[in-house]
Amino acid sequence: MDVPGVFPEPLPPQVFTTGAQLLDLTDKKLVIVLRDGRKLIGTLRSYDQYANLVLQDTIERLYSKNLYADVPRGCYIVRGENVLLLGEIDLDKEDDTPLKQATVDEIYDAQRAENAYKKQREKKKAKKLHSLGFEAENELIL
């Protein structure tokens, strides 16, 4: 339990539980970032202490530089271990992002170009390191 003397005035304990934290976010429009980098936007309908989540009317939003695209996905149950963070979307600020909406295919193309560029840069770097005597143990998969 709490070590005596660490804090002078104990606050009501129910504030400091996973449930209380997520209760504020239920029925709100949230962006959920998953461990694999996916961004889901939906309404939080239920949860438990592991941050397992139930999302309704979910869309997946894809990003590439200043473009984004939405893919309708529907209802999700997300296992808690895959959740990075939940962010409450400010509905006033939502529409004035500098991003432009694009089609899914445009995003895929842009992402592919981006990945190819990154891969090339990694290759160059590995080559240079190799010439200096550093050996890459395994190829970077990202």
Return residues touching another protein (CB under 8 A). Answer: 1-7, 11, 15-18, 20-22, 24-25, 31, 33, 35, 37, 39, 51, 61, 63, 66, 68, 80-81, 83-90, 93-94, 97-99
Query: What's at 5, amino acid-wise?
Result: G
**Distance in Å, CB of 48 to another protein, minimum:** 12
What is the C-alpha separation between 64 and 43, in angstroms, rounded? Answer: 24
What is the C-alpha separation between 83 and 21, in angstroms, rounded? Answer: 15
**Distance in Å, CB of 56 to another protein, minimum:** 18
Identify which of residues 91 and 132 has a Cβ nearer to another protein in the complex. Answer: 91
What is the C-alpha separation between 34 and 85, in angstroms, rounded? Answer: 7
Nearest to 63 by CA among 96, 102, 121, 90: 102
Identify which of residues 21 and 130 has a Cβ nearer to another protein in the complex. Answer: 21
**Distance in Å, CB of 130 to another protein, minimum:** 25
Identify which of residues 28 and 127 has a Cβ nearer to another protein in the complex. Answer: 28
Torsion of CA 109, 113, 119, 121, to 10 degrees: -160
